[in-house]
Structure 1
């Protein structure tokens, strides 16, 4: 079977971590391949993994590794992406495939580097940078963000707040505490999901809260968009921005599925 993942540009050999938005743009610019299979299913693979198979033939990543995961429900969601393809195979509709392919081919061989890349977000977490006005926005930020910062503080990560965009240096002990939390979710799949969520929300605290079950996905997503929603309420919704946000939400939900698979 031809290497369909390479054709789709869902990740190249040696990739350290994928950018979902960039990959979607690249995929849309290319001529999409035609669907050549009838059925996408899940089959047992090596090392107790569950692998996606097209007409019974296991899929492989661009590095020729089986496209499989350790959780059957996650594998079934992955297979559903392939089953849902119509006449053409569109990578823009396959966030799980992109992320899992990246985890297997890229993150697995660069886990510490990816770990450090995620941890850098702790030094400039969205939740630490507060508006100084108007009062209604200040109150909304506090209501949405303080519970997550309080949770982080209870875990040893007491972060310093700042008004506006002036950078504030975070205490080393807080960064170490966040690093300890991140270590609890350091498999290639988890790191890939956390990197995606942190990038989409601008907050490692929110990403870790999601991984630790400290909030519903919809609540955490809304917390990441307090400022955006406030502006939309004041000035009206930007339809292009709303479309971009909807696409990011698809990636957020896919990353959350990966995190959920480690709680079963």
Structure 2
């Protein structure tokens, strides 16, 4: 036992019965130094990722936050309540030693960044997009030397090679854990700039999340909220917040 938990085989379609969850098999959760990393221990034995690597992270603060997820489990272990564990597993198994492809995927999002695609109307939506997105684009153009071009609608607009190269230089300085967090936030928002603004403390996670959902919130304001969409958004926000917390604790 002592395996890290992923949620890929524990999810069930909306509306189906709750899946069977593994029983809690441990009493004590602790953190120990393991070769300069902080490892999570269950009854003195190291937790391992799904890839069988030790679940060891860069900082004691992050390790304690992950340990708290394990401590909070009841009679069963529910991976849905352990987003930091899930993200740390992903960093160790999926990013360490594979940083290049992860960076490439983030930059692919930058090449079609949400902030660059503006609606043709109505005026209220255009104003909200400008309010939330223009300051981030201006910051990227200045602080990161990465100006991006805008387009109306969904027609693709090519971004300057020099800007993408500048963003690559910014991202390549991140370790595997912060890179994993950035990748999750980028995927969830459709923007590379918003998570980078969080990394550089230009936006709070809440501000970045709100900016990523300007269009969606506008539609909700016009047509109302869908219950299933609300649940999906809450799950995505949980993962986004976990990624932002990992950035903070790393």
Does residue 95 of structure 2 align to residue 107 of structure 1? Answer: yes
Q: How many aligned positions are there? A: 243
Q: Is 1:4 equivalent to 2:6 in the alignment?
A: no
Alignment partner, residue 13 of structure 1: none
The answer to whether 1:235 aligns with 2:218 is no
Partner residue of 1:19? Answer: none
Q: Does 1:97 align with 2:80?
A: no
Displacement of 1:31:
3.1
Q: Is the 8 A contact 2:3 2:52 kept in 1?
A: no
The TM-score with structure 2 as length reference comes to 0.93
Task: State the alpha-carbon separation in 2 of the partners of residues 105 and 181 from structure 1.
Answer: 23
**Which secondary structure state, in structure 2, belongs to the residue aligned with residue 53 of structure 1?**
strand
- Asked whether 1:44 is paired with 2:26, we answer no
The aligned counterpart of 2:242 is 254
Q: Which moved more, 1:234-243 or 1:195-204?
A: 234-243
Find out whether 1:27 has 2:15 as its counterpart.
no
1:53-77: per-residue Cα shift (whole Å, max 9, x none)? Answer: 1122221223332211121111111
Gaps of 5+ in 1: 11-22
Q: Which residue of 2 aligns with 1:161?
A: 150
Query: How far off is 1:261 after superposition?
Result: 2.4
Residues 189-241 of structure 1 show CA distances to partners (whole Å, capped at 9, x for unaligned) of 11111110000010000011111111111111100000111111111111211
C-alpha spacing 1:76/1:3, structure 2 compared with 1 (3 Å) = closer
Greater helix content: 1
SS in 1 for 2:26: coil
**CA RMSD between the two structures:** 1.4
Residue segments in structure 2 that go unaligned for 5+ positions in a row: 13-18
Q: For 2:11 and 2:29, how far apart are their aligned partners in 1?
A: 22
SS state at 1:42 partner: strand
SS in structure 2 at match of 1:240: helix
Rounded Cα–Cα distance in structure 2 between residues aligned with 1:191 and 1:243: 27
Report how far residue 139 of structure 1 moved: 0.3
Whether the aligned pair in 2 keeps the contact of 1:3 and 1:62 (CA below 8 Å) is: no
User: Are the aligned partners of 2:2 and 2:42 in contact in 1 as well (CA < 8 Å)?
Assistant: no
Q: CA deviation at 1:3?
A: 4.8
Could you say which residue in structure 1 is the equivalent of 2:172?
183
2:71 equivalent to 1:88 = no
Q: Tell me how far apart the structure 1 counterparts of residues 51 and 95 of structure 2 sit (CA, whole Å).
A: 13
> In the aligned structure 1, how far is the partner of 2:28 from the partner of 2:119?
51
Q: TM-score, normalised by structure 1?
A: 0.88
CA drift at 1:121 = 0.8
- Equivalent position SS for 2:77: coil
- Matched with 2:127 is 139
Runs of 4+ in 1 over 4 A off after TM superposition: none
Q: Give per-residue Cα distances to partners, 1:62-109, cap 9 Å, x unaligned.
A: 333221112111111100111111111111111111111121122112
**SS of 1:50's equivalent?**
strand
Distance 1:137 1:109, change over 3 A: same
